[in-house]
Amino acid sequence: MLRFIGSRLLRAVITIIMVVTFAFVVLRLSGDPAQIIMGADAPPEAVDAFRTAWGLDQPVWVQYFHYFGAIFTGDLGRSMRDGRDAIVLVVERIPATLTLTLPALFIKLALGIPAGIYAALHRNSIIDRVLMIMAVAGFTVPSFVLGLLLVLVFAVQLGWLPSGGQESWRHAILPVVTLGIGGAAVLARFTRSAMLEVLGQPYIRTASAKGVSWRDVVWGHALPNAAIPTVTIVGFMVGSLIAGAVVVESVFSWPGVGRLLVVAVANRDLAVVQCVLLLVAATMVTANFTVDMLYGVLDPRLRSGARKAGAH
């Protein structure tokens, strides 16, 4: 058990390090932050001064070690635009993002999973086909297209809902719906496949042959097995609670973490970008880790480690 957890933790840490390193290198290679922040017509001495002040004139690997050293003391850098601590900037935006992603997650689960189960139970019926067409549409349409369409219909044409900003709870409706639909579509399709796979297994027939009612076969025998692969996708969705709304936040001008990231990248605000990425990597990795642990709970076959010595 310990070995299992240990290896997973090690992988988690390595993943985070790789993400941050990647961001670090790419940001510095993609254009001179000092120039971009100071503006094109700033005098060269001012740009140089800026560069020195922020340590950008030192070799990349030196900056890298400084950065990692600083992390261990809790200092994740400061924003180059307004000088505030990066971590503060990011954290104060988290509630705004969660206001969108949490309800969206709820929609994904509440719509997607039942739709997938229903479609699987009524395979090849009209409802199944309609649901699956809707699902395909839902996850192929890019979120910004969907978002803009919704704005066009509900904000511009009908005038029922506002098109952007964060003033009232009504401003949250369209972004939440946009986020939720895409995820629900994916989940519906996936749950359907998982259910169909399980329903085709011999033990389902055994349960029926035992006299178990179809309802109990589905709930007691099929679902617990279908949950195993579904948990993977749900875990991924939970992992992207913090940063999964980048595009939607931009479309709806919602002041969350995603929007902060977009602006910071455009400005080459290095510390902020790195801080957001660190946070995203950490959340994703934690979610994956939890899913891995959850597998052990859901699937007893994984608990005893190596399978019994089977045929040669």
Partner 1 sequence: MSNDAPLLRAEGLTRRYAMRRGLLGRSVEVRAVDGVSLTVERGRTLGLVGESGCGKSTTGRLVLGLEAPDDGHVAFDGSPMPPPGSEPWRRLRARMQMVFQDPLGALDRRLTIGTQVREPLDIHGLGDAGTRGEKVASLLSAVGLRPDQAARYPHELSGGQRQRAVLARALATDPALLVCDEPISALDVSIQAQVMNLLVELQERLGLGMLFISHDLRAVRQVSHRIAVMYLGRIVEEGEPDAVLQAPAHPYTQALVSAIPHPGRAGTRIVLQGDPPNPADRPTGCAFHPRCAAAVARCAVDSPSLKARDDGRLVACHVAHGEVDALKRAA
Partner 2 sequence: MSTLVTMRGLTVAFNGQLALRGIDLAISKGEAVGLVGESGCGKSVTWLAALGLLPGKATIGGSVTIAGEELLGAPAAKLERVRGGRIGMIFQDPASSLNPVHRVGKQIAEALALHRGIAGAAARAEAKRLFDLVGIPDAERRLDAYPHEFSGGQNQRVMIAMALAGQPELLVADEPTTALDVTIQAQILELLQALRREFGMALVLISHDLGVVAETCERVCVMYAGRIVEEAPTSRLFAHTAHPYTRGLLGALPPITGPRRRLSAIPGGVPEPWAMPPGCAFAPRCGSRMAACDAGTPAHTELAPGHGAACLRAMAPEYAEAVPA
- Does 263 contact partner 2 by CB under 8 A? no
- Does 1 contact partner 1 by CB under 8 A? yes
Choice between 5 and 62, CB closer to partner 1: 5
Alpha carbons within 13 A on the beta-carbon side of 136 = 5
Residues 177-216 that bind partner 2 (CB under 8 A): 201-203, 205-214
User: Rounded CA gap, 264 and 243, in Å?
Assistant: 14
User: For partner 1, which residue of 29, 124, 159, 312 counts as binding (CB under 8 A)?
Assistant: 312
Report DSSP state, residue 111: I
Query: Considering the complex, what minimum distance in angstroms separates the CB of residue 2 from partner 1?
Result: 8
User: Rounded CA gap, 240 and 101, in Å?
Assistant: 9
In contact, 168 and 218? CB cutoff 8 Å: no
Choice between 152 and 297, CB closer to partner 1: 297
189 exposure class (CB count in 10 Å sphere: 0-12, 13-18, 19+):
buried
Selection from 232, 210, 236 nearest residue 221 by Cα: 210
Query: Considering the complex, what minimum distance in angstroms separates the CB of residue 191 from partner 2?
Result: 17
Instruction: Return the range that interacts with partner 2 (CB under 8 A); candidates 184-192, 243-251, 253-261, 298-306.
Output: 298-306
Choice between 6 and 220, CB closer to partner 1: 6
Query: Considering the complex, what minimum distance in angstroms separates the CB of residue 19 from partner 1?
Result: 28
Binding-site partner at residue 213 among partner 2, partner 1, none, CB < 5 to 8 Å by type: partner 2
User: Rounded CA gap, 30 and 296, in Å?
Assistant: 43
Binding-site partner at residue 312 among partner 1, partner 2, none, CB < 5 to 8 Å by type: partner 1
- Does 202 contact partner 1 by CB under 8 A? no
User: Rounded CA gap, 182 and 146, in Å?
Assistant: 9
Choice between 169 and 308, CB closer to partner 2: 308
In contact, 118 and 146? CB cutoff 8 Å: no
Q: With the CA atoms of 295, 233, 241 and 224 taken in that order, what torsion angle do they form, in degrees rounded to the nearest 10?
A: -50
For CA atoms 99, 102, 108, 109, the dihedral sign is negative
Q: At 85, give phi and psi (nearest 5°).
A: -60, 135
User: Rounded CA gap, 34 and 50, in Å?
Assistant: 6
Selection from 177, 160, 173, 175 nearest residue 111 by Cα: 177
Query: Considering the complex, what minimum distance in angstroms separates the CB of residue 59 from partner 2?
Result: 55
Binding-site partner at residue 205 among partner 1, partner 2, none, CB < 5 to 8 Å by type: partner 2
Residues 268-307 that bind partner 1 (CB under 8 A): 303-306
- Does 203 contact partner 1 by CB under 8 A? no
Binding-site partner at residue 43 among partner 1, partner 2, none, CB < 5 to 8 Å by type: none
- Does 308 contact partner 1 by CB under 8 A? yes
Q: Point out which residues bind partner 1 (CB under 8 A).
A: 1, 3-4, 303-306, 308-312
Q: Which residues bind partner 2 (CB under 8 A)?
A: 201-203, 205-214, 220-221, 224-225, 228, 298-301, 304, 307-308
